[in-house]
Amino acid sequence: MIPVNKMITSRSTKKDNTVVDLGSCRIGDGSLTIIAGPCAVESLDQMIYLARLLKKMGVAIIRGGAFKPRTSPYSFQGLGEEGLKILSAASAETGLPFVTEATDSRSLEIACRYADVIQIGSRNMQNFSLLREAGKSKKPVLLKRGFSSTLEEWIMAAEYIASEGNQKIIFCERGIRTFENYTRNTMDISAIPAIKELSHFPVVADPSHGTGRRSLVGPLSRASVAAGADGLMLEVHENPPEALSDGPQSLYPAELEALLPSLKALHGACDVA
């Protein structure tokens, strides 16, 4: 069912893992890359504060949303280009690269001017025009799985990017929609090793959206690492109950700080294994 030969993204086409190199860090080389930050950028002070904390904790990449796809047109839609300027300032302050979402050709064009990695979100996984433009941009692309997409469709979405000459692709599993409602989504941890069987690009996991519950982010982070993830993307907020978006799934900084060493230990144990 999964087409294996001829496709640029296919493991059968290229046996070796592809490493996405951001200069200050490399994703897919066997290391564990931590991406963290707030769901949405809210202010300069917030981002500078968080970025410094994250830097100290050993986080490799900052995340933050400036163009937010929201179910309702009346929800907070992000700060737009202003948010990207804030992210750039936080990045300059800490030396950490940052990833941010683009939702259409306009925001992609703007994001490419500021960001180190472009995120294509779950709802846009089959926005084929956007995929092609992300491909043309030549920027590293973090491609989230559509919340009801098959592995085959996900790889085909990556193929849209790759077919435009861009092989800096990072898959990101963020949970699928099922009947269960204790969690926001159901993380498909099997997607991590399955994608690595089928493709040579790195895979990271997003347990924040994947579970939607702060208390489950730690266990699912550990599970993702043990399943072979090349990295994790985690939401953290200085005051989750006041977050403009996704508070219930955002870690407190102290929780993230406590979690990271356990992930490193686990990653080490997997290496030995």
User: How deeply is 175 buried, as exposed, middle or buried, from its count of CB atoms within 10 A (0-12, 13-18, 19+)?
Assistant: buried
Integer Rg of the chain from CA: 17
d(CA 261, CA 255): 11
- According to CB under 8 A, which residues from 92 to 121 bind its own copies? 103-107
Region near its own copies per CB under 8 A, out of 43-51, 83-91, 153-161, 230-238: 153-161
Q: What type of residue sits at position 187?
A: M
Nearer to its own copies, 168 or 196 (CB): 196
8 A C-beta contact, residue 48 and residue 84:
no
Give min distance, CB of 91 to its own copies, in A.
25
Q: Which of 187, 232, 233, 251 binds its own copies (CB under 8 A)?
A: 187
- According to CB under 8 A, which residues from 154 to 183 bind its own copies? 156, 159-160, 163, 176-183
d(CA 106, CA 137): 12
Region near its own copies per CB under 8 A, out of 51-59, 84-92, 234-242, 262-270: 262-270
> Across 1-72, where does the E strand assignment appear?
20-21, 26-27, 33-37, 61-63
Q: Which of 10, 137, 208, 211 binds its own copies (CB under 8 A)?
A: 211
Nearer to its own copies, 43 or 215 (CB): 215
d(CA 46, CA 49): 5
Nearer to its own copies, 47 or 171 (CB): 171
Residue 204, interface with its own copies (CB under 8 A)? no
Give min distance, CB of 111 to its own copies, in A.
13
Q: Which of 14, 26, 52, 123 binds its own copies (CB under 8 A)?
A: 123
- The distance from CA 158 to its chain's CA centroid, rounded to whole angstroms, is 14
- According to CB under 8 A, which residues from 49 to 78 bind its own copies? 69-74
Residue 237, interface with its own copies (CB under 8 A)? no
- CA torsion through residues 12, 16, 22, 25, sign: positive
- According to CB under 8 A, which residues from 1 to 30 bind its own copies? 1-3
Residue 129, interface with its own copies (CB under 8 A)? yes
Residues whose CB is less than 8 angstroms from the CB of residue 203 and which lie 6 or more positions away in sequence, other chains included: 170, 171, 172, 173, 191, 192, 195, 196, 228, 229, 230
